[in-house]
Structure 1
Amino acid sequence: MSKPAVKLASLAFEIAADAAVPGEAHLLPVGPFRAADGRPEDCDAWLLDATIAASVIQRLRDRQNDTLIDYEHQSLRSEWNGQPVIAAGWFHDMQWRDGKGLYAVGVDWTKTAKQRITDKEYRYISAVFWYYSGTGEVLDVISVALTNTPAIDGLDDLDAGELATLTKRFSLPDPEHTDMATPQEELAALRVTHANTETAVAALTAERDTLKTQLAALTTERDTLTGELAALNKQINDTKAAAETQQKTDLITAALTDGRLAPALKPWAEKQSVAALTEYLETSGPLSITQRQAGDGHTVGTAALTAEQKAIADKMGVSEEEFLAAQKKHAR
């Protein structure tokens, strides 16, 4: 991604010559703005608004040392003219004021500077700033000075070595290789990010729809398997019930045949479970000939019950008379 060159420019505002020297100084106006001498030449105008100013102010606040106000920007020239840098004042903060621009605030003027301003020996405050040559956006204020020559001769025509020296002194990125993106580049990057986000959302939406389809298929398969399991369980239970019924029928038929079960007890036996009927038949012996004859149509006397008959009557919960009456009924 190509970067715009960063260049230097200067602008000056007149200082009020009142008896009391103000503790603030107007550095830059609201943008877009141009100098009276026709600058800038590499962009339509310099740009400065509240958003841009916030970055400029924060960059100054992040510096450890106070920002110097010198005379005639000697701090920029000392590398080449060898003259000392005399302080006119110091400040460590700036403010943005709507409709007016960027101000240095809390300025601590030296005694000599105050007197020179009061005596009108110096009438202007001049700010030198970095800006993007392609867009005019102000990047940083690097020098502030009292001056009587608002336009600094040669400042915009520094050679490569001088510009590199300033870059290092003020901890700024190399003007020709800066990594700071312009607003246009940031907007382009945001558009790419937005497009990538839309692509990711579309992919996630497609994946969601696929998962919903798979879930529906799995739900249908689950319901089918549940129905098949219910049918299989019913078949198993029906088969088990039929087997138990057949087993009970076989037990009753065998017991009637070998005399372990009197014909009168057949209805009772059919109501019992296989386990209960098996337990009963295992503890019952064959009936005497008298009881078996009752099932063959012979007459049953009124004699008392045998011990085996009595045991059967007790298990059935009936009296001896009821037991004998049942035998007579089924013997006819």
Structure 2
Amino acid sequence: MTPTLDGDAPRVQLLPAGRFRSEDGRPAEAECWRLEAAQAAQVIATAERRVNDFMFDYEHQTIHKEENGQPNPAAGWFKRLEFDPVAGLFATDVQWTARAQQLIDAKEYRYVSALFLYDQQGNVVKLINAALTNTPALDGMDELLAAASFLYLPEDTPMDENLRLALCAMLGLGKEADEAAIAVALTAAQETLLKPAACSTFSDLIAKKDQSIAALSQQATTAPDPSRFVPVSVFNETREQLAALSQKVHQTEADALIEAALSDGRIIPGADEDWMRSLATKDLDTFKTGLSIRTPNPALTGMQTGGKAPAELNTAALSADQQKMLGALGLDAGYLSESGGAA
């Protein structure tokens, strides 16, 4: 049965003892990885010469931070290592951060992925750091155990100083970066640059980028096909003409609607007419909606005479007694026409 990790215990297994491989078949350069007494002694001795504590990060963000630009917070820290010939390599003084402790207690993180260097024979030679993860590559270890990332060290010999500085410059590292930092950066470059571009070497990647740049430059310098494109000035002029034509059509429609509404009393000449014309200019749809709810007002449009001449109207409307009264007053029917009609 796989033991359950006690998040409060300072002792955490980093790597198994003996010979082991990852779930995805690594290492490709050797038959297997080896961590026995001799290798463990070298790893521990190297760790003891280290000044800074080892770091637990989240999902190996230490490797990916240059690519994704995200922060690289610590999940925990440790300094001392211990080797058990049966169980493997352990960190014995782990101190989790408050956030990591909460995630471990809630079982949101259950495994540790150790990042280490190994030589051509698969011997583990140096521990880099470890990460909290939920994608273990080494099966059968304690929860919160070794998982996925490993760095290959071709030979266990000091790197040439000129080569080290050249690699630092190429990878964007500081001049003080050691072989472990260079190995981490190379692994990150392979995962984030070479693999996505389907390239096996940096030379292939550069050649592919050069081809892409040349193709883009060719497109930029090639004259556009006149049958497919028009000058921007022509396009803008056409757009302005269409906008003016559309405005003219709207104004013509608005004028016709206003004249009709004036004739049937839906719009009153004066301030009401001015307001409705302004509304039609700004928002024809709103103008139409407002006009549609108005009703004609015949009282504002009909003539008092009903189309008849005033004299004809007045004389026809007088009774015989009214005509006699006018005669007694010395007036005739023409007086009504001049004065505007009978009272």
Same fold (TM over 0.5): no
Between Structure 1 and Structure 2, whose CA radius of gyration is higher? Answer: 1
TM-score where L is the length of structure 2: 0.41
By relative contact order (CA 8 Å, sep 6+), the higher-ranking structure is 1
TM value normalised by structure 1: 0.42
